[in-house]
Amino acid sequence: MAEQSMADPPEPRQRHTDTLKNRRREQLIKSTITSIAKRGFADTTLANVAEGVGLSRGIVNFHFTNKETLLNDTLQYLADEYRHVWRHALDRAGPTVAERLYALVMADFDPVVYNRKKIAVWFAFYGESKSRPTYLALCEQRDEQHYIALRDLCRQLLDESGRMTVDADLIATAISAIIDGLWLDRLLTPNKMSTKRAKETALGYLDTVFSGHFTLHTDATDTRHV
């Protein structure tokens, strides 16, 4: 009774060669994500994970030596996936700074990452991160890279409009915080927070700061209730 994921990530980074062994590893990681989302971090056992891919109990220790290793690799996988999504969004974005900023912020509401299952897992790792240095480092790093991209775009946009004196860091921090907060809303009150509403909230802020530039494009798909 293999429980399996939803939106499969677009192969986060072209990792390793595509051996059978690596396929299994990925299967197990996905099963781990599914289990954490469903049962929580504390109640996720290796037996659950193995059952999720329809294999025997010992399988995880065979591919990951440790439970801890599996968990680390799972977080790494999520971080890779997340990075891939926003970088890809930037790659496809229009040429102007405003377009790029728009794309970057909207990427955080891409259904691949912005869905209750994935968000639940992220917050599960956040919840353990204070007591686990490895998690903390991975989470920190995920944020850091995204933040830099965000701040640089804000700075450019401010420069363009001649507002060099405004603190780009403050704005980027605020945007980042809003997004994180909206993710948390999706986790805690999924019924009250549609994807559309979340995007509007984030864009509402952008539009307030960079007046007139940002309103929601209407092609947005709403994946509420996931």
Partner DNA sequence: AATGAATGAGAATTCATTCAT
Partner DNA sequence: AATGAATGAATTCTCATTCAT
Whose Cβ is closer to its own copies: residue 29's or residue 71's?
A: 71
Residue 205: CB partners within 8 Å, gap ≥ 6?
174, 175, 178
Q: Is 50 in the site for its own copies (CB under 8 A)?
A: no
With CB under 5 to 8 Å by kind, the binding choice for 214 among its own copies, DNA, none is: none
Residue 199: CB partners within 8 Å, gap ≥ 6?
106, 109, 216, 220
What is the total count of residues that contact DNA (CB under 7 A)? Answer: 22
190 near 223, Cβ under 8 Å? no
With CB under 5 to 8 Å by kind, the binding choice for 59 among DNA, its own copies, none is: DNA
Q: Is 179 in the site for its own copies (CB under 8 A)?
A: yes
Q: Is 59 in the site for DNA (CB under 7 A)?
A: yes
Letter for the amino acid at 193? M
Joined tokens for residue 33: 């994500």
Cα dist from 94 to 41, 69, 175, whole Å: 40, 40, 20
Give kind and range of the element (H or E) at residue 205: helix 195-209
Give kind and range of the element (H or E) at residue 13: none
Q: Give Rg (Cα) of the chain.
A: 19
Largest Cα–Cα separation, the chain:
63
Q: Is 221 in the site for its own copies (CB under 8 A)?
A: no
Q: Is 63 in the site for DNA (CB under 7 A)?
A: yes
Q: Is 224 in the site for its own copies (CB under 8 A)?
A: no
**From 24, 132, 196, 224, residue interacting with its own copies (rule: CB under 8 A):** 132
Q: Is 66 in the site for DNA (CB under 7 A)?
A: yes
Q: Is 57 in the site for DNA (CB under 7 A)?
A: yes
20-39 and 116-129 helices cross at what angle (nearest 10)? Answer: 80
Cα 159 to Cα 101: distance, rounded to the nearest angstrom? 14
Q: Is 165 in the site for its own copies (CB under 8 A)?
A: no
Q: Is 131 in the site for DNA (CB under 7 A)?
A: no
Q: Is 55 in the site for DNA (CB under 7 A)?
A: yes
With CB under 5 to 8 Å by kind, the binding choice for 60 among DNA, its own copies, none is: DNA
With CB under 5 to 8 Å by kind, the binding choice for 116 among DNA, its own copies, none is: its own copies
Q: For its own copies, which stretch binds (CB under 8 A), given 2-10, 75-83, 97-105, 182-190?
A: 182-190
Contact set with DNA (CB under 7 A): 19-21, 24, 43-47, 55-63, 65-68
